[in-house]
Amino acid sequence: MSAKNDDIVYRKLQKYLDSLPIDYPKTESGVEIRILKSFFTPQEAEIALKLKLIPQEAKALFRPFKKML
């Protein structure tokens, strides 16, 4: 993945997290992206975007990840 694509996946994750009740807003400085980069690799960020907040059966959980294999 290129650096630009990495930034896109981190921005998608930031927007997803910001949609949750706890919020994770965008800042002018971009510190929220730097924090996400310290916690997640680009691939882990993609995985986090596919996970639901409610429990799922393994079969349903696997579907979004088929393309990543």
What string of pLDDT tens digits covers the 69 residues of the chain? 688 889 999 999 999 999 999 999 999 999 999 999 999 999 999 999 999 889 999 888 888 888 777
CA–CA gap between residue 56 and residue 6 (Å, rounded): 27
CA–CA gap between residue 40 and residue 33 (Å, rounded): 10
Which residues, in sequence order, are CB contacts of 34 under 8 Å at separation 6+? none
Number of domains in the chain: 1
Which residue range is the domain that position 14 belongs to? 3-68
pTM (2 d.p.): 0.84
Whole-number pLDDT of residue 26: 97
Q: HSE (CB half, 13 Å, CA atoms) of 51?
A: 10
Answer yes or no: are the C-beta atoms of 40 and 13 closer than 8 Å.
Answer: yes
